[in-house]
Structure 1
């Protein structure tokens, strides 16, 4: 029999009193278990300990959604280098001056035998073997060899010199060229402060660019903590790496955080969530990718042999779940074993490509989504054959390759052959946190189209927005430019942001000015060369999904790449017209300015300049196009430039160059295509 119980709430918790379950009746026992389970669930819920939702990956989503980030995130740095910039003030310099990104001491002018760097009280260098890299250059070689500088690292407490090097004039290979001089040292076990000194002799003019401490131990620790993030953030994003963009996106999205002083505090905090250690083999670097794959499946951290004593001992006592040392002789053996033993357990929607030398950034996300991690070069026949095995198992039309390639064009060509798209993301460092932000995306205000006239309509586009790490790390610097909004400009971004960083996409839409518009980077749902796709049905599916994601993001202009300079094949344009009907139009890279209309509904234009790299590219190609203009019809000139060497100020200067020309109207890309559609007698606003 079962006695009845009564629910009582005391001090914010629920208690079930007097519950007893007898074995005389299976029904009574079952009912009792249900009641007890309900009681436990209620207590867990009340205390906020309900089971986390975990990562969700609906069938129609290109990338999964991580859970909502924790109310307060742990903010860490995985930077493995301690850098002192030569031009920095307050470094104890007694001669020379800051000049062009360096500290410059000039022979015959500045006082010789003095210090061009003297930093004291350095406590961040970890104990053990490390090195200091000094970046130096001489203005010119002396007629006679002689010591130019003495480099020293000193134990400030004992006065002992830990490492030193005398650099002579003839040690430099070239004049006016930065060269690295390495000073090995062993930092003391006890936390003695260190002193860093660079004494200039005056023999030749000398520039000091930087001094960087590199610690193998610190690098091993950073790599391990990256995989700890992979374990922890897959259940609930709680650890954020500040190295890519500081706290910019945390502040922009209203996410709270606490800076972690010692990363080992996180192992203390999250030890119970870690199931063990996967040990990689430093003698076979690609085992790090295999170890990352295994760790994602087994909720383990990846560790170098140097960390085993600490991780397996007190207080962590982590078991070794797999030790890869001594098992492989080559990268082919590593990835062949990955394919044979683990590929069936990982997702086939995504394959991650990371150099084994890159041990942070995207790895935490790869672990969270349980993806296989490889680094295979399509230009090497044996590696290509193995890569083909992975890719043929992936879904044609929707599969993604996240990361990067040894060679861009060869890699994107390979994914295109298999109906896949590359997503540049190898240096994306916080996708687990950003993926868990709200999926409610603010749609931008529609633009006001001016009347169509017989003018030159000019539009400018910033390229490379398909690159998720660019969005995370570089775009904030451009977006925060105080002049942003002064000129009409199209900013390429990835429609995949709707999955990978929806909060960031929403922020960009909300903070865009009337002169800013987001458009899709190449070639929609990832970087691919559509001309190389052999399955038309798969290509149609790719553009249909692109249409869906662009609509959700509020974008209606697409950029399509078939290499940096390639035009778009007719079947590709037709596919866009039929399966992405809500778009205003698309651009391609032909560099001719030719406009084609596909299916009597979709304009596509080969930009006059598809990938500009300098400020003159923003004006010269416009003037060249105008040389053949008849002034009796509208002329459409599109210029796209990359953000790595073309600044916002360059776009402003180009705008100022043309602004007084009454024949030229500079407009946003969406307005540009609305005017183009009108000139081609197409509906200005297509039916979705």
Structure 2
């Protein structure tokens, strides 16, 4: 499975680094409490905090700044923008053509550009009390510092930054932690949460891995066939000697076909320097730890194999003795592997700056608690302290596995997830005024015939950062509109990005249909919710769907024994009673689910790999046993990370009889009449 994090992170994969216990720091000085005037979660008002309407924006390009300087600026942005947004930053490379610049132009607000965005610290120094100093040796102190920055109207900085910018030190967290993550975040929950907003919880990694510039990778081995059945499984001895030159060699494993999600699987690794063994380990074990340089875009499979799909990768570091002339790595490996090597450290660790403006501005509590084990138990306590339907904004650690267990844990605690860890300038985009239509798209019903009716849907719309970033790039494809396709988006954009949602509504062609992303107002697994709270989530979803004109949803349920399960009759009835839905596409991948739940048609998505020709071949195989005597319905999933509207247009040209490609509204109207 391809993780959305792999692609949203781009060149900056995530890591959590070392952690510590808060020691001896007194309670923060008295300051203003949670933001006044915000609606409680689940009330008849907004789910997410409100911001004033910006009048003039001061902006600068921060794409070349370090993560530390970006963190300084995003936390400054949070304090300044709390009352009336004034600061906006360009994070995406591409200058005036970058996605942040495009959204800035779309605001049509007067702007002032700063060639040196760090000059804004001096300009707005009078608006902040000073700096919260985090401990660079204890990464999670950055999150505690961010929480304190929101409460104390301060910025987050290290000691050198505070000195360089002449900032008064409000709190100094250096030396206040040891390596116990649970105690660190328990201290924060007990001592800071009472003063924080209870309208949302936040989860952000304290650090990120940044790619080194100008790096050259030497190709060592590549699988040139699209193999997805382990048929090439074997022991491979790889000569990485061409990468010798410095003190270490870094060996990277990635997917040789990044568009279909069947990357390399590695079960065992050994290395020899001039014939002498220097490493021997299995993935996921303590023996692997000294050699795993970067595994954050990978997962451990059922056999104990480490794998990474799509745009992901994992890197091992081997340090041979000085003077080594031959270095080989032997791996048990299968599927679509691409192995490359370099003698230069390919990444560095920096503070993770994104979404911190929103966290500081809202005075939210931010943590980074993996959803399993003791940290998961503490995360449960966070959910228990807020009311039903309180959103958890940010993300979880451990890639795909962290997504499944994290979203499930949040659902059990009565919270929906708002994937927002890479959402930039949220304080500005929440305040920009833009018209949002609540009108449901009209369509002309068709009469059923003995055809294969297909509807195609781009996923990932629950991610507000996807809606802000990658979806905008897809949307700007000049071939968009050539073929009918559904686009999942989050109805919560009505709160956190109304100008984004308005843009998509206003510029949609007749062949673009916006539908609700999984699984309603926020990403969740409805079947995992407490039985006495699931209706609250559905009521919330219904309110936001009606206000944004959406009557279809792409939804997940929950997993049992690592398999998705269909919605129960009770969940279907809750959707039917509390939302305006005409139908549900359930994440299923096999395409063999078609039932009614609560009177609503529920169809599982069909998700074949590859681009247009391979997708069409999979469709043909899927309908091979269809007798042609009645209509057949298929909800096809489109991978938003590897497909574009141009690819959809290419597929549409191949869909001759018996196929008919429909938008979701026409598709479900027809399905409702024949099911």
Question: Fold conserved (TM > 0.5)?
Answer: yes
Query: 1:355 & 1:538 partners in 2: Cα distance?
Result: 29
Correspondence 1:532-543 to 2 at 5 A: 532-533=528-529, 535-543=530-538
- Does the CA-based 8 Å contact 2:452-2:631 persist in structure 1? yes
Correspondence 1:125-274 to 2 at 5 A: 218-244=66-92, 245-274=99-128
TM-score by length of 2: 0.68
- 1:617 is displaced (CA, Å) by 5.8
Change (3 A) 1:597 1:382: closer
Query: 1:283 & 1:238 partners in 2: Cα distance?
Result: 33
- Does the CA-based 8 Å contact 2:586-2:603 persist in structure 1? yes
Tell whether 2:515 aligns with 1:519: yes
Correspondence 1:548-567 to 2 at 5 A: 548-562=543-557, 566-567=564-565
Tell whether 2:366 aligns with 1:388: no
- 1:352 is displaced (CA, Å) by 0.9
- 1:241 is displaced (CA, Å) by 1.5
Partner of 1:142: none
- Does the CA-based 8 Å contact 1:74-1:260 persist in structure 2? yes
Query: 1:616 & 1:576 partners in 2: Cα distance?
Result: 39
Tell whether 2:78 aligns with 1:79: no
- Does the CA-based 8 Å contact 1:457-1:634 persist in structure 2? yes
Query: 1:568 & 1:227 partners in 2: Cα distance?
Result: 43
Change (3 A) 1:305 1:572: farther
- Does the CA-based 8 Å contact 2:202-2:366 persist in structure 1? yes
Query: 1:275 & 1:362 partners in 2: Cα distance?
Result: 21
- 1:572 is displaced (CA, Å) by 5.1
- Does the CA-based 8 Å contact 2:513-2:664 persist in structure 1? yes
SS in structure 2 at match of 1:262: coil
Partner of 1:440: 435
TM-score by length of 1: 0.67
Q: Which moved more, 1:429-438 or 1:574-583?
A: 574-583
SS in structure 1 at match of 2:505: helix
Query: 1:474 & 1:405 partners in 2: Cα distance?
Result: 21
- Does the CA-based 8 Å contact 2:526-2:558 persist in structure 1? no
Query: 2:359 & 2:610 partners in 1: Cα distance?
Result: 33
Partner of 1:57: 39
Partner of 1:369: 362
Partner of 1:593: 592
Partner of 2:145: 291
Partner of 1:9: none
- 1:421 is displaced (CA, Å) by 1.7
Query: 2:645 & 2:564 partners in 1: Cα distance?
Result: 26
Partner of 2:663: 668
- Does the CA-based 8 Å contact 2:205-2:368 persist in structure 1? yes
- Does the CA-based 8 Å contact 2:586-2:602 persist in structure 1? yes
Equivalences, count: 480
SS in structure 2 at match of 1:405: coil
SS in structure 1 at match of 2:407: helix
Query: 1:421 & 1:674 partners in 2: Cα distance?
Result: 29
Change (3 A) 1:647 1:553: same
Query: 2:189 & 2:165 partners in 1: Cα distance?
Result: 29
Which one has a bigger Cα radius of gyration? 1
- 1:366 is displaced (CA, Å) by 0.8
- 1:612 is displaced (CA, Å) by 5.0
Q: RMSD value over aligned CA atoms?
A: 2.1
SS in structure 1 at match of 2:165: helix
Partner of 1:144: none
- 1:614 is displaced (CA, Å) by 4.2
CA deviation profile, 1:168-200 (whole Å, cap 9, x unmatched): xxxxxxxxxxxxxxxxxxxxxxxxxxxxxxxxx
Tell whether 2:371 aligns with 1:378: yes
- Does the CA-based 8 Å contact 1:351-1:400 persist in structure 2? yes
- 1:527 is displaced (CA, Å) by 1.5
Change (3 A) 1:612 1:230: farther
Query: 1:542 & 1:439 partners in 2: Cα distance?
Result: 26
- 1:632 is displaced (CA, Å) by 2.4
Pick 1 or 2: higher relative contact order, CA cutoff 8 A, min separation 6.
2
- 1:353 is displaced (CA, Å) by 0.8
Query: 1:286 & 1:604 partners in 2: Cα distance?
Result: 43
- Does the CA-based 8 Å contact 1:56-1:66 persist in structure 2? no
Change (3 A) 1:255 1:612: farther
Query: 2:422 & 2:360 partners in 1: Cα distance?
Result: 15
Partner of 1:131: none
Query: 1:550 & 1:569 partners in 2: Cα distance?
Result: 20
CA deviation profile, 1:52-81 (whole Å, cap 9, x unmatched): x987436332212211112x2111222245
